[in-house]
Structure 1
């Protein structure tokens, strides 16, 4: 920032001399290799030297004093020192600023001064002074010396009054007093005859005194947002001819009469409690009155200059007559009202360009005039059964039409002759009753770029018709009954998005030939194979094939998809005993769509089998514009929850959020994320009780419970617009809420994870609620802000309640939000609940046992295997194709899974548990079971201390094949001493029931017993499922067993392919042909273990023969 002198050195070749202009001037000689380079530097340096330094920005440098060398420049006009720790006295302090003789603008906001520096009053050249957010309680009388001051910002302090000397500032035109403690309009403003802008937002005003405002005849703009205004008082009938702009948003007014403001041009009065509004129409240009309770809006005379009218989210039953007569009206928004009809005059307006009448009760549209200049027409969420026959013929300028969520069965034609003149580009017709008959009409709009026909009754899409939509860029055909996508889709060369999930498509469309295709969603269909071209389009970023149960992808196919950023496929079915049990209680599906954004900033966490296996964790994280924090929280929050549950039985949900907030570290300094976390578990105090649901959230992510078909909100929305208590707290802490309703202009949320630099205005403390689950609970829905902004709770529940596939349900919610106008990232999670009255749990952790009639051929549909580490987004089998291992699909290993058997190997008709006695049986079955070797620090079969694999263990790269003996026989007369870790039930059985003995042979089991026995007796007491939990008691090697035993620990789980970059770093997966090799230094130990295992097996066989011989 120092001025320099630059000159060529004549005695040295290609050398320039740079000399500083400070008191201790120093000269630097710089040599160059060529003459051209020397001359180029000389030209650029000379240009810089010739420029006079006038603006200096030293904000956010934690300065306590101004650098001394800065005072040598007398040309500084603008000096920004905000967000520092400037001292009031001493060298380089605020007392020294008067040395800048030309200084006109000074910003000292956020410096924690406590008192107004009197020395600033000596800088007579100041025209702009910002001293906001410094904890000031008063202004000194010397303030009257700043005679040239034009703009004075005092926001975010504790001022209650202004000194009389302030009236001397006759040049003052803008005065900012927002977020102070004023209870009335400062009377001193009457003396400021040039003052035209007065900002008093966030104060304590309760009455708008129009008489006082009338005496301030010079004021044009008044900002009274976020006060406690309840009424506007006018003692006289005298009109005010100066005020042109007034902002009364977020107050508590029930009626408002501003007819005395004859010059009012723009009024903001959103989010009040207004029932009636009266205004003068002489100068009115824009009126914003949404989110009130308006039943009448009176404007007289007819506003001839009005161009923008927003009356959405009110209780209007008809469009005001004066609005139909406004000759210059361009935008009319009356959505979310109670309109039953539209006046025909509104469509005759020659100026109207945008008409928003969605979410009303319209059954039909009025007769159309000969010419309709409308460009945007929103008719969604009405009761329309048809559109006017000549709509597309008379509305030739129409470019956007949204008629979603109606009852349309047909569409009007767009041409009366052979050629269509339609300019329609965006057409949204989702959630209607349209059939194949409407398709020929669609091709009459040759300019169509975006077409949404989701959730209709389409069975076919004629090939000849689709090929004519050559300008199509986005096509959504989800939720229909289509069996194929025509091959003529290849003619749509501009197509970049195809969404056709939840159909009956069995043949992969020829979509990969399109040069611009980026996103393809064919999930929840009936695909069996994929036809892939020799070269995939380079623009392809995401391919979703999940939910196609019969689809099998070969390794060659996966290699071809290796460059795709996101590939979603189904997990290979692999049930553990715990996942088989929990899948009977709940199953989940997740959908995340980027919309019009270039990146996805929403992540989900879905663990259907958490901790002990009889619990579940679901979460959603929305970073708004950052993707880093949602992914961090997705990866860490489940682990934090698991640790906190062991530390506290009451505060673990709150502590989970606080610890996760702390673990964000530097990433959470300036970035933030909304979060919602749902935890399903048994009550620790009453293990025999039903499941309970605990929900914690910050920000705008929400969860709702569908109980008996009705939505039950579980969260509190922490935003300035929707939570008055939070807005009051932020105001009291003197944060600056900008006009777009954001804290310090950053975020609308008042509680988030991250954003630590905005503390204490932004807090990580969550809202926590708990509710017991009942038989009436059907669904748990999670969504981010974008989802709930476009879908009501009731509509979301009714839209997916009848669907059996949670993945298809989640996809449908996102599709509906996009068709209703959402262009942002949208995320939805649907958890289907099946909670019985007893919510019983099997004694052996959900081990499925054969019934007396043998085995059933039916098997339970597996839930998505999960992990407490949260490595995959929702763990919905979303992974890059290059990361898919030899086991095609994505399954995540859970290091906390209990040792058990694969439930899919022992199918039966009816699940048995400690509450339901199992009939005596002497069936003996021997079944091989696939299990994985897993510990916290070992992957692909490697022990945490071993660098080489172990020889003799046959593996396919992600599973270790073992055999487990299961003996089911009568145990009458046997007395086994149960280990402390086991639990049993007190449910009595028949008098002749001899009980059931289950013997599982394991190698070096966790509790060091060779055999685990479970006996169901008549008088056994039921203990909590948590008593047999070994999780959380990890040893130094990260495992739950000693280091020497971790090698032989067998857990029924499948290890997930992990992403290789960023927060998903993991060792590469082993190929199926690879085998383990025993290191030389472990050969003797392995041989000794095998020998002991054989001896133990021989002894055990003798015991088994004795058990089998019992009556």
Structure 2
């Protein structure tokens, strides 16, 4: 015999079965406790519940959880909870997540007294309601992403914060922060102009502040222990970083940067400056730890002398920088392993200026003006090559050490000739194999005389042929292109 009342099923045994109004909540608890569907949740076995995560489970009623006296952490992201009454007397509960519960009122949150971790991301409240969170001075973790936040003044007393997420809001500054324990701040997608007035963030290690309106990095010295800074998509025209002892990674892509100065940065290992407007990468000195530099599509870049300030460089990306005419600074770093020069228009002479690189394994020079691969002797350790879209007709020098390569879409333009005149060419695949697959777009022939090959066209005008060749070790075309030649009458 039993009597049902809301919240608990009373029996005449010592152990009582809990009745849940919300069956989705009950199911989530059973899953967490590894209970069979036929088993019930009791006032005894629910004491084993310390953590409960139920994301997007269509839960709206938490009644029954009041019996989970040992509950420490709950995450109910993406539900429709309106009342936290069942949780208010759970004295061990310290971490609560109610992100994207749009009908949850602030007054319900404030019923929880002992929390140190809080996630209300995706829930929108008024400025006055957010200000009430100031009571939680013991918070160590706070997530308020996508909350239409206009101010974080209520955080000024939260001096125990360790981790803060405030992404996708309307913030113009984060000056109120006052926790030397803060290790990580996620503040992407706001309208922050400067961090110059930020104080007492000496413990900060990582900062995500992409997609804001920063106009300089003059605040970086205040964050004396920061190691990782992600500040892409800002409005930083001139970036000066000097003397910072612990900065390890700088990501400053798409920030309208026209001038960069990097000096005396003993810990800097990675910098990304992709899609900016740099004309020069020359103001660099004393970068003893720098291993990776990326300058993708700085289309106005002409000077890369600063590369010589990084003796331990192992990865250099110059892709999409067609203004570079002097590649000799690349000769300085002796440890270089990966070099990307796609779409720079690099020539035979310029690639020779790079010099001998005994450790280079990957070389990407697609979209260049290379007519041969004689440079292969400069890089004895090379294993991967991107040669697409050049002017190469002979890849016979590719040795056994090359494990992966592509030399498709070559565009070879020969000097004009008179009708009937032969042109000596060298059309060879790897290991000097003959290229047999030829599509004549205009009538012509290729003849041989010993090791020499000669191309002759049948008619005057603009003549073309397409060729393709497949390596024995590949399932795809490895080498292809077009010969073009004008034949005069």
SS of match in other structure, 2:185: strand
Deviation at 1:494, TM superposition (A): 3.4
Q: Does 1:488 align with 2:403?
A: no
Residue of structure 1 aligned with 2:42, choices 81, 94, 98 = 98
- Unpaired runs of 5+ in structure 2? 1-23, 414-424, 447-463, 484-489
Residue equivalent to 2:456: none
With over 3 angstroms needed to count, the CA separation of the structure-2 counterparts of 1:459 and 1:508, relative to structure 1, is closer
CA distance 1:136–1:483, change in 2 (3 Å)? closer
- Measure how far apart 1:401 and its partner are: 0.6
Does the residue aligned with 1:329 lie in a helix, a strand or coil?
Answer: coil
For the residue of structure 2 that corresponds to 1:124, the secondary structure is: helix
Cα separation, 2, equivalents of 1:352 and 1:427: 19
Which residue is 1:408 aligned to? 324
Q: Which residue of 1 aligns with 2:347?
A: 435
User: Displacement of 1:567 after TM fit?
Assistant: 5.6
Match of 2:383 in 1: 473
**CA distances 1:142-165 after superposition (whole Å, capped 9, x unpaired):** 5333211112232222123421x5
Instruction: State the partner residue of 1:147.
Output: 69
Measured against aligned partners, the alpha-carbon deviations of 1:705-752 in whole angstroms (never above 9, x if no partner) come to xxxxxxxxxxxxxxxxxxxxxxxxxxxxxxxxxxxxxxxxxxxxxxxx
The 3 A distance-change label for structure 1 pair 424 and 186 is farther
Gap change, CA 1:436 and 1:551, over 3 Å in 2? closer
Q: Deviations over 1:408-439 (max 9, x none)?
A: 11211566xxxx87110111112224322123
Give the Å deviation of 1:325: 4.2
Query: CA separation in 2, counterparts of 1:80 and 1:301?
Result: 54
Map of 1:128 onto structure 2: 51
Q: Aligned partners of 1:445 and 1:525: how far apart in 2? A: 40
Please name the residue that 2:406 is paired with. 498
Superposition RMSD in Å = 4.1
Q: Which residue of 2 aligns with 1:426?
A: 338
Residues 257/238 of structure 1: CA separation in 2 closer, same or farther (3 Å cut): closer
Instruction: Answer whether contact 1:409 1:433 (CA < 8 A) is retained.
Output: no
Structure 1 residue 318 corresponds to structure 2 residue 318: no
Of 51, 76, 84, the residue aligned with 1:162 is 84
Distance 1:305 1:523, change over 3 A: farther
Q: Give the structure with the higher percent helix.
A: 1
> Aligned residue for 2:187?
269
Distance 1:378 1:184, change over 3 A: farther
Q: Flag the 1:263–1:279 CA change in 2: closer, same or farther, 3 A.
A: farther
Q: Note if contact 2:345-2:369 (Cα within 8 Å) is conserved in structure 1.
A: yes
Trace 1:701-716 onto structure 2 (pairs within 5 A): none
Q: Does 1:456 align with 2:371?
A: no
- Compute the displacement of 1:226 (Å): 2.8
* Alignment pair present for 1:373 and 2:297: no
Unaligned runs of 5+ in 1: 1-62, 87-91, 104-122, 515-519, 530-547, 571-804, 809-1111
Q: In the TM superposition, what are the counterparts of 1:487-566 in structure 2 within 5 Å?
A: 487-490=396-399, 493-504=401-412, 507-511=426-430, 549-551=465-467, 565-566=475-476
Tell me how far apart the structure 2 counterparts of residues 268 and 77 of structure 1 sit (CA, whole Å).
30
Matched position secondary structure for 1:480: coil
* Counterpart selection for 1:396 from 311, 324, 330: 311
> In structure 1, the residue corresponding to 2:290 is in which secondary structure?
coil
Q: Secondary structure at the match of 1:232?
A: coil
The aligned residue for residue 95 of structure 2 is 174
TM-score, normalization by structure 2? 0.73
Corresponding residue for residue 736 of structure 1: none
Pair 513,153 (structure 1): closer, same or farther in 2 beyond 3 Å: farther
Distance 2:290 2:445 in 1: 46
TM-score for both structures, normalised by structure 1: 0.34
Q: Whose relative contact order is higher, 1 or 2, with alpha carbons under 8 Å and at least 6 apart?
A: 1
C-alpha distance in structure 2 between counterparts of 1:293 and 1:511, whole Å: 52
Structure 1 residues 528, 395: closer, same or farther in 2, change over 3 A?
farther
In structure 1, C-alpha distance between the alignment counterparts of 2:185 and 2:228, rounded to whole Å: 11
Summarize the Cα distance change of 1:488–1:186 in structure 2 as closer, same or farther, 3 Å threshold: farther
Q: Which whole-Å CA distance do the structure 1 matches of 2:439 and 2:353 have between them?
A: 28
Equivalent positions of 1:990-1029 (< 5 A) are none
- Match among 319, 331, 342 for residue 249 of structure 2: 331
Residue 180 of structure 1 and its aligned partner are, at CA, apart by 0.4
Q: Shift of the alpha carbon at 1:300? A: 7.9
> Any conservation in 1 of the 2:373–2:397 contact (CA below 8 Å)?
no
Cα distance in structure 1, aligned partners of 2:289 and 2:229: 17
Q: Displacement of 1:469 after TM fit?
A: 2.0
Larger Cα-atom Rg:
1
Contact 2:81 2:104 in 1 (8 A): no
CA contact (8 A) 2:397 2:431 kept: no
How many residue pairs end up in the alignment?
Answer: 422
* Alpha-carbon distance between aligned partners in 2 of 1:525 and 1:399, rounded to the nearest angstrom: 44
Counterparts of 1:967-1046 in structure 2 under 5 Å? none
Q: Describe the shift of the 1:457–1:504 C-alpha distance in structure 2 as closer, same or farther (beyond 3 A).
A: same
1:216 aligns with 2:136: yes
Q: Tell me how far 1:499 sits from its aligned partner.
A: 2.8
Q: Say if 1:356 and 1:378, in contact at 8 Å, map to a contact too.
A: yes
| Contact in 2 for aligned 1:502/1:525 (Cα 8 Å) | no
Residue 384 (structure 1) aligns with: 301
Q: Which residue of 1 aligns with 2:422?
A: none
Q: Deviations over 1:291-314 (max 9, x none)?
A: 233335674872122010011011
User: Could you give the per-residue CA deviations for residues 753-772 of structure 1, whole angstroms, max 9, x where no partner exists?
Assistant: xxxxxxxxxxxxxxxxxxxx
Partner SS state of residue 349, structure 1:
coil
Q: How many Å separate the matches in 2 of 1:448 and 1:301?
A: 36
Q: Distance in 1 between matches of 2:479 and 2:366?
A: 22
Q: What does the per-residue CA deviation read over 1:352-400, in whole Å, with 9 as the maximum and x for residues that have no partner?
A: 0001122222212244435532100112222222321x734x4221011
* Matching residue within 247, 263, 275 for 1:347: 263
Q: CA–CA distance in 1 between the matches of 2:141 and 2:186?
A: 12
Contact 1:294 1:316 in 2 (8 A): yes
Q: Structure 2 CA distance, aligned partners of 1:198 and 1:224?
A: 8
| Cα shift at 1:276 | 4.1
